[in-house]
Amino acid sequence: MENFEFINAIVLLSNFVIVPALSYGSQLALATLSLTIIYGVLRFSNFAQADWMSFGTMATILFTWLFQSIGITAGILPTALLALPFAIIVTALFCLLIDRSVYSFYRKQKSQPIVLMIVSVGVMFILQAVVRFIIGPNDRKFFDGEKYIVHALDFKNYFGLEEGLTIKSTQLITVIVALVAMISLFYFLQKTKLGKSMRAYSNNEDLALLSGINPEKIVIVTWIISSILITTAGVLYGLDKSFKPFTYFNLLLPMFAAAIVGGIGSPIGAVIGGYVIAFSEITLTYAYKKFFVYLLPENLEPSGLMQVLSTDYKFAISFIILVIVLIVRPTGIVRGKII
Amino acid sequence: MNEELRTPVAFTVMAILLAIVGFTQSWSVSLSVINLCIISSIMAIGVNLQWGYGGLFNAGVMGFTALGGLTAVLVSHDPIYEAWDKAGIGIVISAIIFVLTVTALLFVFRNIENKQIRNTLIILIIVFGLIGINNFYGPSIDIIESINPAKTGFLGGLGLPIIFSWLIAAVVAGLVAWVIGKITLRLRSDYLAIATLGISEIVIAVVKHEDWLSRGVKNVSGLDRPVPYEIELQQSEWFLNLVERINFSKLEAIQSLSSRQDLLNDLVIDSSGIFVKLCYAGLFFSVLLLIFYLSQLALNSPWGRMLRAIRDNEEAASAMGKNIFAQHLQIFIIGSAIIGIAGAMLTTLDGQFTPGSYRPLRFTFIIWLMVIIGGSGNNLGSIFGGFFIWFIWIEAEPLSIGFMNLLAGGLEYDNPLRMHLLGSAAHLRLFIMGLLLLLALRFMPKGVIPEKIQKK
């Protein structure tokens, strides 16, 4: 069965590297998009963005529980998808409330971006407290519906291979939802009048104001788009893995890394950055031993695990990449805003 | 309020708060709070040098604190000779290969113009460097970690008194800051924050997972102590006499000999704890005074004026011929060195090194709060901020529980809402911190003790 070896190797790689990285990358790309939109329009690095993600996910979980308790489910799909629009509304309203009461003051004063960033640290503290207060700091799973689309065992039996491929339904949902969200965002930014005025405002505030764009409207739309993206990203991540406020807070770092690697302020860059970070995290910590055992003749088989970095450093990888990008090409892959 | 009066009033209020804890809870608790307050103040001065004087947003405070803690372990722990004998050479060789690789990389990066040749060379150097390091490194750490893993399982340290580590921590943190600064200081301010936040996470990842160096999450405990142990005090003659003399009147009042002896024993146990904490407080306070004095000198020197000029108007300072990058690098190194000292002091006070306990919230953002609320650009402000915010951070918990009890006052004992409210009381402290920061930024953006602008 010489030629099956190659297929086995590919299936193995898809199962453990490509599929997980694709879904994690989509989640990260959505989250990074929201970060980058805030950065592009409101001009500050929002340290609270990861906690907006927990907030949105928490709202979704609460709505999911409500729907489940009155007997509404989405059949084979997770109920959370039904709850998502309601949670987005709540998150957007809370975002706008915080903007009114906190950020708008500094916008009027034309404060430096660094001041707004410190303000966002304060918002971060408050959001963390609110989320932990309402739902608690523990791990929660809120997935229901059909779990697998392709199951490893069925796959093996069907194709007669040694390696199985698992595709969880959440992974497929993630990729589809993320694609839909990204396409509609790019359509909105490029084709609609509101999207164009947003880009104009981001590009040159004074010129945009002169041409009659209402800045308050832009700010409101920005927060709404940001809440849609970040809540969706958080829910997809939570469905795929689980929801825990501290884990979500830790996603802030990969999000920033993705934004800078892709080119901060650039939406396309955010998407690319998200996938780059996700793929590097997973490809660099995967042990390729079995993969090479399939591919190479027996006498060349590797003795070690064939792992570039131990999984302990998964978390640090996004930053190692960030540091390399900062040294080699500080503007990011797609040239973003001027540094 | 009159600006002149602010400093004395702020510190008096702080003293009263600490005294209230002393009277209502206990003096031992109050002293523990004070010790951590002093360490926090030192960290805040470090951050204040960077932010208040230099305008640099360093979000990697946690990383430098952990480096200081690691240094305390590496300086004071006894060396594990067995590990050095069996595998020390492998570690040394991999360190040498690492240094050689980095030097070669830098050399290629600087001296070879042709892009293609440069990139091929860089990739070749990295691949060979990794292969070389892996050859020696992997096997050596396996050996080191297998030697008595329950107790040591790492290389140990130098076996010097732990007080030395405070100085060495400054050097280590300064060196790391030099490397980080070289990479990040040319970036815009909020990039610097993100980059330092990330690098501090890398530092923590290394400290947590390189067991041969720091025992990782298995922690290093039982570190050397610069002050006497309680049990030694309780057995020494002079201490017993001292306690007896201080509490003379209290002891006199008791008639029965046996109950007088009991009271004396209790007093001796209590006072030995307090005495140890006082020793720490004295040590820490002298470090704080020294650092404060030196930073004030620096602030009022021509160098300090130049830094503030750069902070307030980079272009103008640059036009005057000041090298902005070099000055930023200097202040970044000095500030980080001070944070490193505080990190080593913290590990000394704890008597153990616990890499798992380093969280950005506790070690980075809280310190920032201290600087901003205290008054950025003013060292006295940072000291006050260190005391005040740490005090709130500690006392927020009992206060929140009290507050929740008040909220849930009318509810029955096992009411689920009441249980939830009380269970969540701990999270209220995050809320208080966030609210304090937002209020300060809005209504008191210069802090409690604002920067003094001197006009000559």
Mutate to test the interface with A, among B182, B194, B428 (most CBs of A within 10 A): B194
**What residue has token string 């729907």?**
A67
Q: Which CATH architecture has domain B3-79+156-443?
A: Orthogonal Bundle (1.10)
Chain B nearest C-alpha distance from A215 (Å)? 22
Using a CB–CB cutoff of 8 Å, tell me whether A105 touches chain B: yes
pLDDT of residue A339: 34
Give the closest of B187, B423, B434 to A339, CB-based.
B187
Q: Of the given ranges (A109-123, A220-234, B130-144, B380-394), which has the lowest mean pLDDT?
A: B130-144
Q: The tokens of B290 are what?
A: 């020294």
Chain B nearest C-alpha distance from A74 (Å)? 30
> What's the rounded mean pLDDT across residues A211-219?
89
Contact A126 B184 (CB under 8 A): no
pLDDT of residue A3: 66
> What's the rounded mean pLDDT across residues A133-140?
89
Chain B nearest C-alpha distance from A45 (Å)? 7
> What's the rounded mean pLDDT across residues A230-234?
96
> Could you tell me the pLDDT band of residue A338, with boundaries at 50, 70 and 90?
very low
Counting residues of chain B whose pLDDT is more than 70, the rounded percentage is 99
- Using CB atoms and an 8 Å cut-off, which of residues 28-87 of chain A contact chain B? 44-45
- Using CB atoms and an 8 Å cut-off, which of residues 257-296 of chain A contact chain B? 257, 260
pLDDT of residue A160: 78
Contact A320 B208 (CB under 8 A): no
Question: Quick one: closest CA in B to A43, which residue?
Answer: B190
Q: Is the pLDDT of residue B149 over 90?
A: no
Chain B nearest C-alpha distance from A28 (Å)? 17
Chain B residues touching A130 at Cβ < 8 A: 431
Chain B nearest C-alpha distance from A129 (Å)? 5
Counting residues of chain B whose pLDDT is more than 90, the rounded percentage is 33
Q: How do residues B274-302 score in pLDDT, each as one tens digit? A: 999 999 999 999 999 999 999 999 888 99
Q: How do residues B156-213 score in pLDDT, each as one tens digit? A: 788 888 899 999 999 999 999 999 898 888 877 777 888 888 889 889 988 988 888 8
Contact A128 B427 (CB under 8 A): yes
Chain A residues touching B435 at Cβ < 8 A: 122, 125-126
Q: Is the pLDDT of residue B46 over 60?
A: yes
Q: Is the pLDDT of residue B1 over 70?
A: no
Q: Where are the domains of chain B?
A: 3-79+156-443, 80-155
Chain A nearest C-alpha distance from B205 (Å)? 6
* A-B C-beta contacts closer than 8 Å: 119
Contact B428 A45 (CB under 8 A): no
Chain B residues touching A125 at Cβ < 8 A: 361, 365, 430-431, 433-435, 437
Is the complex ipTM higher than 0.95?
no
pLDDT of residue B454: 67
Q: Is the pLDDT of residue A303 over 70?
A: no
Q: Of the given ranges (A226-230, B138-142, B289-293), which has the lowest mean pLDDT?
A: B138-142
Q: How do residues B404-450 score in pLDDT, each as one tens digit? A: 888 777 777 777 777 777 778 888 889 999 999 999 999 988 888 88
Chain B residues interacting with chain A (CB cutoff of 8 angstroms): 57, 138, 183-184, 186-191, 193-195, 197-199, 201-202, 205-206, 208-209, 361, 365, 368, 372, 423-424, 427-431, 433-435, 437-438, 441-442
